[in-house]
Structure 1
C-alpha cells in the first residue's frame, strides 16, 4: 500500500482537498482575532505548499535529485517512498499532533509556525542561491509572511514563558530538519 501511495506522489492528490477542508474548518472554528487561528493557520498553508511541491506544478523530487544533488537522470537520492514518509510523518501526523496539543498549550502552535518558517527559508534560500523557481517557492513566500505574523500574534497573545517556547521550538525545528536532511541524504 505504501508503494502505491508513494508512487508518483499519489498521496499528494489528497493534499489540495485536505488544504481546502482544513481552511474551511479553521475559519468555522476560529476567527483571525483568536490565537488558535494563528497557531493552526500553517496546517492548511502547508497542505497548499505540498500541493505546489508535489502535485501542481510539482516536480520537487526531480528538482532535488537533478538540480540540488546533480544526479544523472534515473538516479535518485530522494525517492517517492522518502517523499511520502517525510510529508506524511513530518507534516500530516506531526502537525495534527501539535495542533491538538495547542489546545492545552499554545506553545505547540508556535512550534508548527517555526517549523514552517524553517522549511520556507530553505525554499527561499534555494531560490535566491540558484536564481530560479523551485517547487514550493511561491507558497513558501506567502507562508513566510503569514508565519511571521502568526509567530508575533501567538507570542503577544497568550504564550506563557515565551523565551523558553521560542528556544524550544527553534531547537526542535532545527533538529527535525537535520533529521529530515539526514534521512533524505541516506543511501537506500
Structure 2
C-alpha cells in the first residue's frame, strides 16, 4: 500500500488522456449527455494532477495554510490523500457514470455539482491565500464544464428537478464530509501533537 500512497496521483494525467480518447471515440457523438457525465471524471483527474503533480503541493498548502500546522506533511499525509481521493474520484465518479449509462442518467449528475462546489472552495481559498494547487483547473475547467453540464441537462429536460436537487445535496454532502475531515478530525490533532 505504501507504493500506492506515494504514487497514485502520478496516474491522473495518463488516465485522463486515456479516458478522454475513449469518450470522444465512443460517446461524444452517440450519447452527449453521458459524455458530459464521464467528462467530470476526466476533468477531476486533471484537477488532481494540478494539486499533486504539476505544480503539486496541495498537501503542504492544506497543512500549513488551512490547518495551521508547522509541518508540510502533518496532519494530512499521502495516505490521507489516497483514502479521500480514491473512493470519491477513482471509484465514485466512474461508478456513477457507468450506472448513468445502464440504469438512469440522473445517477451521475452529482459529479457535476460536486465538481463545481469543490472548485468554488479553491476559488474561495484563492481570495484569502492567493494561488493554491488545483485553482487553475477549478477556474477554467471544473466550474465552466460543471455549469455547462447542468445547463445542458436542464435545457434538454434530461432529468427531473428532484434529481438535480438530490445531485446538489449529494455534492454538498461529499464536500461537507471532506471539509469535516479536515477541520474537525485533522486540525485538532495538531494541538495534540
TM-score by length of 1: 0.90
Q: Does 1:114 align with 2:113?
A: yes
Q: Is the 8 A contact 1:35 1:157 kept in 2?
A: no
Deviation of 1:12 after TM superposition, in Å, equals: 0.6
Structure in which a larger fraction of residues adopt helix: 2
Structure 2 stretches lacking a partner, 5+ long: none
Aligned 1:83-94 pairs, distance under 5 A: 83-94=81-92
SS at match of 1:71: coil
> In the TM superposition, what whole-angstrom CA distance separates every residue of 1:1-24 from its partner, at most 9, and x where no partner exists?
2x22113xx111111110100111
**Among residues 9, 12, 20, which one is paired with 1:15 in the alignment?**
12
1:36/1:153 CA distance change after superposition, 3 Å: same
Contact 1:35/1:154 (8 A) holds in 2: yes
Q: How many residues align?
A: 183
Instruction: Tell me by how many angstroms 1:66 deviates.
Output: 0.8
- Whether 1:43 and 2:41 are equivalent positions in the alignment is yes
Does 2:61 align with 1:55? Answer: no
Runs of at least 5 residues in structure 1 that lack an aligned partner in the other structure: none
Deviation string 1:104-129 (CA, Å, 9 cap, x unpaired) is 21112311111111111110111122
Q: In the aligned structure 2, how far is the partner of 1:175 from the partner of 1:92?
A: 18
CA contact (8 A) 2:12 2:48 kept: yes
Q: Does the CA-based 8 Å contact 1:124-1:137 persist in structure 2?
A: yes
RMSD: 1.7
Q: How far is 1:179 from its partner?
A: 1.5
What CA distance in whole angstroms lies between the structure 2 residues aligned with 1:25 and 1:75?
A: 36
